[in-house]
Amino acid sequence: MQIQTNTTHTATLLYELQQLLIQIKTCNELADDTSQATVGRLSQHGLQLLHYALFAIESQQTKLNFTSLSAGAAMHDVVEELLPLAASYGASIHFDASPNLDPIYANEMSLKGSVYALLSAMITSSTNGVAPQITVAVQQTKPSVQRVGVYSDTTPISLAMLRQTKQRTSRMDTTGLSHRSGLGFMISQLLAERLETAYASFEHNQLPGIGFYVPESAQLQLL
């Protein structure tokens, strides 16, 4: 079972890398300033996604360092980092954080990586011809716990889509879901597990989406 899971991870990673390299090769053929800028953005995104993918795989065998940090600041960083990629796809990302949020207790790389991977998958997988409009929100929805979520009514995102990527056995299984590998969906789930949480369905300002809960640092100090 473990071998099969690892094979699925490896195949998904390779399909995504192939697609990124095809994009870069094709843009390079055009040899104009716009395409060269796109090559730069895609390369940077590819390296960042690969960084999170390797971390997700390697961290399965290690105990991660949890610290007190600002979920709002972490999510703001992720949104800023993805804006160039979003521009290449005609997508827009809106960031919405509740005011005066207390620090949370989490592993920063897992938190950022999980949302980065999910957001980038939504941006690059959209094929319905509608420019993706995505909202990233950090809210205090109940005492001592914050919710990090990704929402959109232009780009479908659901728990079923995330789970489907875990069950794939071949490249063509993505038909019906997306033309992309689903690597981002897979990484986002793996890193949510590292945070000792899991994605669930939520709504934010009437937008459907998914997210997860993270505990505030103060709650742990009380325990």
Partner 1 sequence: MKILCIEPDVVLAKAFKTVFTRNHHDTIMLCLDPQAAIEQIDTQKPDAIVMELQLAPLSGLAFLHELRSYEDFSDIPVVVYSSVPQESFQADAATWRSLGVKKYFYKSTDSLQKVARFIHGVLDEA
Sequence-ordered alpha helix ranges (H) in 59-127 = 71-88, 108-125
Is 57 or 177 the residue whose CB approaches partner 1 more closely? 177
Binding residue count for partner 1, defined by CB under 8 A: 30
Residue 124 in tokens: 């690059």
Residue 201 in tokens: 């369905």
Residue 69 in tokens: 């940090």
Does residue 175 belong to the site contacting partner 1 (CB under 8 A)?
yes
Does residue 99 belong to the site contacting partner 1 (CB under 8 A)?
no
Does residue 160 belong to the site contacting partner 1 (CB under 8 A)?
no
Is 182 or 211 the residue whose CB approaches partner 1 more closely? 182
Question: Which residue in 9, 12, 13, 38 binds partner 1 (CB under 8 A)?
Answer: 38
Q: How far is the CB of 184 from partner 1 (least distance, A)?
A: 14
Cβ(216)–Cβ(100) below 8 Å: no
Neighbours of 63 (CB within 10 A): 7
Does residue 167 belong to the site contacting partner 1 (CB under 8 A)?
no
Q: How far is the CB of 43 from partner 1 (least distance, A)?
A: 12
Binding region for partner 1 (CB under 8 A) out of 30-38, 71-79, 106-114, 196-204: 30-38
Give me the amino acid identity at 166: K
**Residue written as tokens 């995504």?**
16
Binding region for partner 1 (CB under 8 A) out of 54-62, 67-75, 135-143, 170-178: 170-178
Give the three-class secondary structure for 115: helix
Residue 56 in tokens: 């997700």
Q: How far is the CB of 94 from partner 1 (least distance, A)?
A: 20
Radius of gyration of the chain, Cα coordinates, nearest whole angstrom:
17
Does residue 172 belong to the site contacting partner 1 (CB under 8 A)?
yes
Directed axis angle between helix 183-194 and helix 159-166, to 10°? 100
Question: Which residue in 17, 50, 57, 177 binds partner 1 (CB under 8 A)?
Answer: 177
CA terminus-to-terminus distance, the chain: 37
Is 32 or 58 the residue whose CB approaches partner 1 more closely? 32
CB within 8 A of 144, min separation 6: which ones?
Answer: 215, 216, 218, 219
Binding site for partner 1 (CB under 8 A): 18-19, 21-23, 25-27, 29-30, 32, 35, 38, 42, 88-90, 124, 126-129, 171-172, 174-179
